[in-house]
Chain A
Amino acid sequence: MDAHASTVLGTLALALASGRIRVVDLTQTLTPEFPQIALPPEMGQCWPFRIEEVSHYDDRGPGWYWNNFSCGEHTGTHFDAPIHWISGRDLPNNSVDTIPAQHFVAPACVIDCSQQAKQDPDYLLTVPDIEAWEARHGRIPAGSWVLMRTDWSQRTDPEAYQNFDETGQHTPGPSSEAVQFLVEQRDVLGFGTEAIGTDAGQGFHLRPPYPCHYFMHGAGKYGLQCLTNLDQLPPTGAVLICPPLKIQKGSGSPLRVLALVEDRA
């Protein structure tokens, strides 16, 4: 037997090499056109992604091409640390530079709400939805990500993705009760979504406002948003690799989110 296969990591490496474990990219491409979260204009704003050439094999640098870019901590596919919310501001290890690195690799449970979100852009994930999912796939293990699949990322037109009308944004997210259930009853690692925030577009009008941010971060849990390709993940069994940039006292960061998916056939 191959010596490499005698360890778990060796087995993993072989499975990756053979394609039995696939790496699925859950990340949106950082482009200037990808929308950022919109707050009332008098408030501070998250920078959108912007990029400008430094040189392009030209008079500014004859042999090389490179760019400068700018963005906020919460631009594009990004990670939310507990310090992002006022409820999590006094927790230990609450910023991206101090979160234990062990947390950046963890299993994921994917709850498919794509049909509901298709019917209702304001769809809120409920406790019964979670219970129904558990009845089929088993109890959500402590320390795992819960990802809400809505296929919202398939809205490639920024206007449809943001889905604003005069009453604000209409995107799916979790109900206040569902968030509390996941935090208190299941001790999850964090919650991930496909839309611009972990909370629903109308989350400001829930109780408390933005419950996913409030309860998850208040309990030291994390957030992932603007995910894509969740339709390529199994309900259980995927492992996420999602280390944010190590920004001193950072409240979050754009990041590459990868999922390891085992081919069971």
Chain B
Amino acid sequence: MTMPLMKPKRKNPVLRTRQMNLPPWSRGRVALGMTAAAAEGRFELQVCQACRTVQYPPREACHRCLSPKLTWTAQTGEGTLLADTRLHHSNDLFFRERLPWRLGMVHLDAGPTVIVHMHDEIGAPPQRVHVGARLDRAGQAVLIGFPVDGSEHMTDDRMLREMTSDPKFRKVLVTDGKTAVGQAIVKALVKAGADIVWVGHAEPWKKLPGLEDITTLKEVTLVPLDLTNERSVSELAGEIGGKVDIVVNNAELHRAFGIGGRRGTDVARAEMDINYFGLLRLAQGFGPALKGRSADGVTHAAAWVNLLSIYALANFPPHGTFSASKAAALSLSQCLRAEMRPAGIRVVNVFPGPIDDEWSQNLPPPKVAPAAIASAIVSALKQGIEDVYPGEIAQEWLERWRDNPKVLERELAAGGGQ
């Protein structure tokens, strides 16, 4: 049984804020294949296409038949715990600060024997366990041993919380509360146990529906925030930046124009101003404070979520300028991820397909519901996932893009987006 996490006491302001020391982060190029899968929530190991051997640790060639034809393949993770130990000493700063730390050796049913970080609910060996891959605070894949039947509060496990960005008891900034997606995200965060949800409210004179639904929640506070206004961003960062644990940047401007459909650059510029420059202003405003608090107790600053679009991967010509702004935002968020990495702050990119809102009115279903995006975000935070593709269209585009981006480009140019 995991003891439910209790709301932590207020921080003692005379103590030095604990600084982040990352766990060992060095990996070879081959090993990053496991990280790539874990970033999307999958546990994959190399499988030899010649002799079907499943191997771990990752190598350039099959350790049994020397074939270089190795394919990263999803694993069930079922296995048996052979041995476990509890570290009470470590020279590594990350573990030293988090002792004691439990490790185990698991024999996977698929073949390999792996070393895992152990969930505390797992009993003494021998024991059936479930192995999954997670990103650690350095953003690298590590293997976790989970109990086969976890208890209600298993996500509150001390080790597991280091691998995830659970919103429970955390303070979150959602940058735009005026949209259906923003309101759904706020509700989902409150339901997930967020302590405070600050909600950005730009141009307060424009009355849009649904705002009352979230302002009645006791956890929610509206704050003036307009990502097109550098002063607005820096003022809010000055006011609450030192308390925000998770930033969810959902503010976006979406218009349905290509190049020829709208004369001038005003719409494209407005999209860029929020979708790209808005992220840049926000990151300059809130990034430093988040990085400074990334080891600050059990509810330390943990994550940054960007609402991008599947159109960031390949331009959807009917929404061409919007696609370009999201591609720019994707590129910038990779920079943000690299800059946040030393602090152990996770940058989560969300790539929804067409959203069921007023700016995709003319697109046929399937369209992803605002609530589905919200739950995908919360679940990514809870599971430590970095890249999320909610909705059928997003999944399908991702598959086509992975298969051959040039073919997808041609299909989209020919109107084959949906």
Contacts and interface: CB of A to CB of B under 8 A. Distances in A.
Interface of A: 32-33, 35, 38, 42, 44-45, 48, 50-52, 158-159, 161-166
A45 B267 CA distance: 9
Contact of B229 (A32, A38, A159, A163): A32
27 contacts: A32-B229, A32-B231, A32-B232, A35-B203, A35-B205, A38-B203, A38-B205, A38-B206, A44-B266, A44-B267, A45-B266, A48-B228, A48-B229, A50-B229, A50-B230, A51-B230, A52-B230, A158-B205, A159-B204, A159-B205, A161-B205, A162-B205, A162-B206, A163-B205, A164-B207, A165-B207, A166-B207
B205 A164 contact: yes
Interface in B203-252: 203-207, 226, 228-232
> Which size bracket describes the interface of B in this complex?
10 to 19
A51 B204 CA distance: 20
Given A32-B229, A32-B232, A48-B228, A164 B270 contact: no
A50 B228 contact: yes
Contact of B270 (A35, A45, A158): A45
A214 to B, nearest CB: 24
A8 to B, nearest CB: 45
Contact of A164 (B206, B226, B264, B266): B206
A163 to B, nearest CB: 8
A163 B266 CA distance: 26
Interface of B: 203-207, 226, 228-232, 255, 264, 266-267, 270
Nearest to A196: B205
A246 B226 CA distance: 31
Nearest to B209: A166
B47 to A, nearest CB: 51
A179 B270 CA distance: 35
A157 B18 CA distance: 41
- Main SS class of interface, B: loop
Nearest to B205: A162
Contacts of B232: 32-33
Nearest to A160: B205
Nearest to B207: A164
B41 to A, nearest CB: 35
B266 A32 contact: no
Q: Which 7 pairs between the two chains have the least Cβ-Cβ distance?
A: A162-B205, A32-B229, A159-B205, A52-B230, A159-B204, A164-B205, A164-B207
A163 B205 CA distance: 7
A213 B402 CA distance: 55
Contacts of A51: 230-231
A158 B226 CA distance: 14
B316 to A, nearest CB: 19
A159 B205 CA distance: 4
A131 to B, nearest CB: 35
Contacts of A42: 255
Given A45-B266, A45-B270, A32 B205 contact: no
A234 to B, nearest CB: 32
Contacts of B206: 38, 162, 164
A15 to B, nearest CB: 40
A253 B375 CA distance: 47
Contacts of A35: 203, 205
A235 B231 CA distance: 39
Given A44-B266, A45-B266, A45-B270, A158 B204 contact: yes
Nearest to A46: B266
A163 B203 CA distance: 12
A48 B205 CA distance: 14
B207 A32 contact: no
Nearest to B358: A41
A152 B230 CA distance: 28
Nearest to A44: B266
Contacts of B264: 44
A38 B231 CA distance: 21
A176 B64 CA distance: 90
B204 A32 contact: no
A35 B232 CA distance: 14
Contacts of B226: 32
A159 B231 CA distance: 19
Contacts of B266: 44-45
A246 B381 CA distance: 54
A161 B206 CA distance: 12
B231 to A, nearest CB: 6
A38 B208 CA distance: 13
Contacts of B267: 44
Contacts of A45: 266, 270
Contacts of A50: 228-230
